């Protein structure tokens, strides 16, 4: 599993685990399929921000496949 800090590793349709804003302190991860990549830069130290198909927004912590 790869960390989600590089934008080029994440594509629409990728299955990822992300942390939502309200879960940053407890570290709870949410799994889903990427619908849209929201971060424009090629790298972000805390994870690339994405929107899942369910509408949830958060920063990618792990790329499943």
Position 1 pLDDT exceeds 70: no
User: How confident is the model over 26-54, as a mean pLDDT?
Assistant: 97
pLDDT in tens, 10-31: 999 999 999 999 999 999 999 9
What's the rounded Cα separation, in Å, for the pair 50 and 33?
10
Of the pLDDT bands very low, low, confident and very high (cuts 50, 70, 90), residue 65 is confident
Q: The whole model's pTM is what?
A: 0.92
For residue 26, the model assigns a pLDDT of: 96
Residue 24 gets the label, from left (phi > 0), alpha (psi -120 to 50) or beta, of alpha
> What domains are defined for the chain?
7-63 (2.30.30)
Return mean pLDDT, the chain. Answer: 96
């Amino acid at each position: 599993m790869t960390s989600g800090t590089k934008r080029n590793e994440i594509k629409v349709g990728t299955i990822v685990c992300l942390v939502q804003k309200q879960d940053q302190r407890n570290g709870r991860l949410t799994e889903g399929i990427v619908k849209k990549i929201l971060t424009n830069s090629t790298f972000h130290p805390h994870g690339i921000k994405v929107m899942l198909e369910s509408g949830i927004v958060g920063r990618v912590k792990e790329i499943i496949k």
